[in-house]
Amino acid sequence: MRLSPRLAFGVGWRGASSLPALKRNDISREKIDLVLITHFHGDHFGGLPFLMLDAQFTRRTRPLVIAGPQGIERRLEQVMEALFENSSKRERRFDLRIVELNPEAPARFGAVGVMPFPVVHGDSGGPFLGYRIEVEGRIIFAAIFTTKLLGATRSDSIISRFIAPEIT
């Protein structure tokens, strides 16, 4: 499925490898309007400082929204400071909005509708969210799953990384 070029989604910003992958595939970071974070494990959240610095140094002008579980604003500041001291306190050249999402509370970001829902994914790095995303008349389910995905059969697309529980 091809989404509008002005809409891009990150279910998680997979560590520092995401930015080089976007560049390698000639995907404009300037056109990313919304990043959705599922949880705070490093491989899904740790690359945000690199995206933020790239936006600053490439003179991004478009607003950026980063949305995710409760605590995302505090966690983003912590990881920014851990990796690049004082970076979270610098004035940005672009508008940044950080939105904390609650399970089962719908949110709208322009033409994009998001319904967060809780998922189970370990004991640390939470809270954990999956997303039902509606854009351009299509429904996308996106999550890290260790539980049954309900309602996805009525989706146009499913983005998932499935982690099966240990079988004994």
Residue 107: its pLDDT value, please?
96
Positive or negative, the CA dihedral 106, 114, 160, 83 is: negative
Stretch 139-161: mean pLDDT, rounded? 52
Q: Is the peptide bond prior to 127 cis by the omega test (within 30 degrees of 0)?
A: yes
Q: Where does residue 137 fall: left (phi above 0), alpha (psi -120 to 50 degrees), or beta otherwise?
A: left
Separation of alpha carbons 35 and 13, rounded Å: 8
CB-CB neighbours of 125 under 10 Å: 17
Catalytic residue (one of 43, 95, 123, 156): 43
Asked if 49 contacts 66 with a C-beta cutoff of 8 angstroms, the reply is: no
Express each pLDDT in 100-140 by its tens digit: 999 999 999 998 899 998 887 777 667 888 888 888 888 87
Using alpha carbons only, give the angle 156, 158, 162 rounded to the nearest 5 degrees: 165
The residue ranking higher by pLDDT, 85 or 39, is: 85
- In the residue annotation, 54 being an active-site residue is answered as no
Q: Which of 84-88, 126-130, 145-149 has the highest mean pLDDT?
A: 84-88
Structural domains of the chain, ranges and CATH numbers in brackets: 15-162 (3.60.15.10)
The H-or-E segment that residue 132 falls in is strand 129-135
Residue 122: its pLDDT value, please?
72
Threshold 0.95, pTM exceeds: no
Structure token digits, residue 143: 């999550």
